[in-house]
């Protein structure tokens, strides 16, 4: 049997290794159009590679995917986060979980993951072909023809693991297969705020904030990072992922509300009432555990002197402070890709694919895995886990 794996990223490698080890007599060829392998693995997690997440409940993990959660819930029963940890550790790569449940190699170096995948491919006997652009894929009766650079080669099975695309035209090369494609839009991005003064606090982190987009009821929680262009951090990135299509439709021009300490109105009032008995200045007593620069910025924003004494705070000033802490408003005009981690929603419709095998419902012998599918997760190792899971299942089933 001759199997083609198209794409030299995380999903492509996992699919190739699994297929070859499941059927050593099969010929497994991996094709990558560029001259680099595993480039996204290299930059992930600031160069440390956020391999997966220490979430070991299938029902909870499936909730981390704005698109594809229900689909993956069926797939996770075959290959899950614990399987990812065991898979890498069986190859000599130990993983560690950090406080936020993100999991990294104990070396804190993505090259460890790259070396592991390359070594496993080499040991299994996968043939790797760089600068091999697939221009067209055609289905014959029981096989596939791939136009690779200037030649056409036939294969019994094909696994497509080419990742996401910024534009729908990125899927044109397999248009002959007449698959349903969901228009791609960016999914993981930070918020640009060109008209907001809060950018002067770049580097400041509110550790426990909540963010809501005006017109959308859903709230997202977590650390919020102020940057020189606006806001980032988990709370913002989750908001971008869950509302990717709505924000794209609004051309990334909208308003958000921030609850800086993620407290209820009653909790804020209780703290304010307790603190107002103090004879210390507002700058010297910050009862909400906010970074000092942010606390001072918020006071100045609502024209309350940092030298004011707490027990001299007027009712109007208390109300202004309460509203700002609970419901601070900022205008967003534009987005920036989160670091170099390009993630899109959209791709091959999940209606086209069997979640138990990752095989095309339309074309027997054709499989999909990774971000080429209309699956995307929030930040935290979830996109890699979707890649490992779908690739493992595709690799295991393509040899049958």
Count of beta carbons in the 10 Å neighbourhood of residue 210? 20
| Average of per-residue pLDDT across 211-237 | 96
Confidence of residue 339 (pLDDT cuts 50, 70, 90): low
Residue 377 and residue 385 in contact, taking contact as beta carbons nearer than 8 Å? yes
DSSP letter string, 24-60: TTSEEEEE-SSS-SSHHHHHHHHHT---EE----HHH
Q: What angle do CA 397, 77, 180 make, to 5 degrees?
A: 60
* DSSP code at position 226: E
| Average of per-residue pLDDT across 279-297 | 96
For residue 264, the SS3 value is coil
**Cβ-Cβ contacts under 8 Å for 250 (sequence gap 6 or more):** none
* 312 or 343, greater pLDDT: 312
Residue 304 and residue 321 in contact, taking contact as beta carbons nearer than 8 Å? yes
| Average of per-residue pLDDT across 94-111 | 97
Confidence of residue 298 (pLDDT cuts 50, 70, 90): very high
- CA end-to-end span of the chain, whole Å? 10
Of 388, 392, 397, 394, the C-alpha closest to 368 is 394
What is the rounded CA–CA span in Å between residue 365 and residue 143? 8
Quote the pLDDT of residue 342.
Answer: 72
Of 291, 233, 221, the C-alpha closest to 263 is 221
Residues in a beta bridge with 206: 224
Quote the pLDDT of residue 126.
Answer: 98
Quote the pLDDT of residue 360.
Answer: 98
What is the rounded CA–CA span in Å between residue 113 and residue 120? 11
The dihedral over CA atoms of 59, 186, 245, 390, expressed in degrees to the nearest 10, equals -30
DSSP letter string, 332-368: EE-EEESTT---EEEEE-GGGB-TTT-BBSSSTTEEE
Say yes or no to pLDDT of 340 above 60. no
Q: Is the pTM of this model over 0.85?
A: yes
Of 197, 209, 217, the C-alpha closest to 237 is 209
| Average of per-residue pLDDT across 118-136 | 97
**Residue 158 tokens, joined:** 């094909």
What is the rounded CA–CA span in Å between residue 294 and residue 292? 5
Residues in a beta bridge with 232: 225
Residue 137 and residue 153 in contact, taking contact as beta carbons nearer than 8 Å? no
What are the pLDDT digits (tens) for 12-59?
999 999 999 999 999 999 999 999 999 999 999 899 999 999 999 999
Average pLDDT of the chain is 96
Quote the pLDDT of residue 145.
Answer: 97
Quote the pLDDT of residue 341.
Answer: 59
What are the pLDDT digits (tens) for 60-96?
999 999 999 999 999 999 999 999 999 999 999 999 9
What are the pLDDT digits (tens) for 136-146?
999 999 999 99
Q: Where in the chain is the domain with CATH 3.50.50.60?
A: 2-185+340-397
CATH class belonging to 2-185+340-397 = alpha beta
Alpha helices by DSSP H, listed for the chain, are 10-22, 39-47, 58-61, 69-75, 81-90, 110-124, 234-242, 244-249, 265-275, 292-301, 315-327, 382-397
Quote the pLDDT of residue 166.
Answer: 86
Q: What are phi and psi of 131, to 5 degrees?
A: 50, 45
């Amino acid at each position: 049997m001759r199997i083609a794996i198209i794409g030299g990223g995380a999903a492509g490698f996992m699919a190739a290794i699994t297929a070859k080890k499941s059927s050593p007599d099969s010929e497994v060829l991996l094709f990558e159009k560029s001259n680099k392998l595993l480039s996204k693995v290299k930059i992930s997690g600031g160069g440390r590679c956020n391999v997966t997440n220490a979430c070991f409940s299938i029902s909870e993990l499936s909730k981390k995917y704005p698109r594809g959660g229900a689909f993956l819930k069926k797939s996770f029963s075959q290959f899950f986060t614990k399987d990812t940890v065991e898979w890498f550790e069986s190859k000599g790569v130990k993983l560690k979980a950090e406080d936020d449940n993100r999991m990294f190699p104990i070396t804190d170096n993505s090259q460890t993951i790259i070396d592991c995948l390359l070594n496993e491919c080499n040991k299994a006997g996968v043939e790797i072909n760089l600068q091999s652009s697939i221009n067209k894929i055609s289905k014959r009766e029981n096989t596939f023809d791939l136009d690779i650079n200037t030649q056409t080669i036939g294969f019994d099975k094909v696994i497509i693991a080419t990742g996401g695309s910024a534009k729908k035209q990125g899927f044109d090369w397999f248009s002959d297969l007449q698959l349903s494609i969901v228009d791609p839009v960016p999914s993981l991005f930070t918020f640009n705020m060109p008209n907001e003064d809060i950018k002067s606090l770049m580097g400041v982190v509110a550790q426990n904030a909540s963010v809501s987009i005006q017109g959308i009821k859903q709230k997202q929680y977590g650390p919020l990072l102020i940057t020189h262009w606006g806001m980032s951090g988990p709370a913002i990135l989750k908001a971008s992922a869950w509302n990717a299509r709505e924000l794209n439709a609004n051309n990334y021009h909208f308003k958000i509300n921030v609850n800086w300490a993620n407290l209820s109105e009653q909790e804020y009032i209780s703290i304010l009432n307790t603190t107002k008995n103090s004879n210390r200045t507002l700058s010297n007593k910050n009862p909400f555990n906010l970074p000092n620069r942010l606390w001072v910025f918020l006071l100045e924003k609502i024209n309350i002197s940092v030298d004011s004494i707490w027990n001299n705070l007027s009712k109007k000033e208390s109300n202004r402070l309460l509203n700002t802490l609970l419901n601070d408003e900022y205008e967003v005009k534009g987005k920036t890709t989160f670091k170099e981690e390009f993630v899109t929603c959209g791709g091959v419709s999940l209606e086209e694919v069997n979640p138990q095998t990752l095989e095309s419902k339309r074309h027997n012998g054709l499989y999909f895995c990774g971000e080429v599918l209309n699956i995307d997760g929030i930040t935290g190792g979830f996109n890699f886990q979707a890649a490992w899971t779908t690739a493992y299942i595709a690799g295991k089933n393509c040899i049958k």
